[in-house]
Amino acid sequence: MRILERFRHGLLQIKLSSHPSTHSPFPFGPFNSTTQKRWKKPTDSAQTRLENRTRDLKLDKLTTHLKKLTTVLQIHQLMSSRRRGPFVSLQSVSRWKNIVGLNVGTGVFLRKYPHVFDIFTHPVRRNLCCRITRKMADLIKEEEKVVNEWELEAVGRMKKLLMMSKNGTLHIYALRLIRRELGLPEDFRDSILGNYANDFKLVDLEVVELIDRDENLGVAEVEKWREKEYREKWLSEFETKYAFPIHFPTGFKIERGFREKLKNWQRLPYMKPYERKGAVRVRTCGGIERFEKRAVAILHELLSLTVEKMVEVERLAHFRRDFGMDINVRELLLKHPGIFYISTKGNTQVVFLREAYSKGCLIEPNPIYVVRRKMMDLLLLGCRNTAELRTTKEIKEETNNVVCNEDLGGVIDGEWVIPILGSFGEQNPDYNGGEISDSSEEELYECYKNGSSQSDA
């Protein structure tokens, strides 16, 4: 009996060791001595750092709002490019869904923002059409006006960018990608590069070169902060000469030894963006760290020159060759979470300059930023405060599209044509009333436009 029990116990052990899902009570034995457990080292890449970064909810929310504003401006640009007029039918707007990048229906998107889009019925074709409201159109014109007034500041920013470049040249297509971020006019190639021929020269069709360097402009924005820290906080020159402002997000975990590494990095000397002493040697002692710190200084200065202190990460990659940054831009930005922040809201990666923002707002606003903030505030109203819009629409409908019948005491559809034809008959005594059907849609629409303009006045 004991021999049978031992035999059964041996068979049971063999069955348990043959199934990998069941765990043997003995981790090492004659049947599982060859199995090994390999522990994979956690990968530390730009993608994992992007996923595991500490989020800034204020900047993420701001990115979402800016994405909506960009979509609105794209729709306005498509409307303005049409020859028929400043309005488009909803059927035509639905075709722009993929162009604009909407993930919802265009009609649903337009009705969400009644302060920006005015949906009305066409007086002749009787179909739904859309146009930009008067408030939004005025803000767009105000932005164009402010951009034209800031032309000298735009010229200074262009000079600084060219002074930071490796050979004093930049590609125009790269400037065109961040034209709105730099506050440049839409026709900056003619209005700035063409009018200031003493400062800029077109080497090629797509390459611009700076003629003379202005050393007075060769002072980075971070230098002003260093001087302020040196005077107000009584810090030593050794601590502030090569330091950067650091602002970690709420909830950022500081690991052991991180403070010491950051302190040494702040003291590390580097060749500043506007200096032209010589090439940075990567293979020398501390060459890689100094090369990366110079790239950080160039990106910091580039973001400081923008209107809203933010740029899309993909567009920064187009300046790598001109600025001599042979490095992964996104990985470099993620290495310094106290200086930059990358937001991934809206299917785009946008980098912000941390020191320039507080609670989702720019600390030192400029006139262009103020106008764009008004646009975003008008957009964020949504369907609130629409009582005024409804009253104005009702007044327009009463004055243009409706004529009250005194005998019936009601409203009859189509009687808005009667006063137009009556005034037309008074101006032409030889007019025959039986030729009403010969009037074209263009004449009726012109009369409708004149009536609406008088009611607005």
Q: How far, in Å, CA of 404 to CA of 178, rounded?
A: 55
Joined tokens for residue 230: 């040196």
Joined tokens for residue 397: 């409908």
C-alpha closest to that of 270 among 245, 242, 300, 298: 242
- DSSP annotation of 344 reads -
Which sign, positive or negative, has the C-alpha torsion 207, 213, 214, 218?
Answer: positive
What pLDDT sits at residue 338? 93
Q: For residue 210, what are the contacts with CB-CB under 8 A and spacing of at least 6?
A: 159, 162, 163, 168, 169, 199, 200, 201
Q: For residue 134, what are the contacts with CB-CB under 8 A and spacing of at least 6?
A: 456
How many CA atoms within 13 Å lie on the side-chain side of 341? 27
Joined tokens for residue 187: 């026709």
What pLDDT sits at residue 392? 53
| Sequence letter at residue 286 | G
β-partners of residue 128 are 121
Q: Cβ distance 188 to 151 under 8 Å?
A: no
Q: Pick out the chain residues at pLDDT < 70.
A: 1-44, 46, 85, 277-286, 387-457
- pTM equals 0.74
How buried is residue 312: exposed, middle or buried, by Cβ count under 10 Å (0-12/13-18/19+)? middle
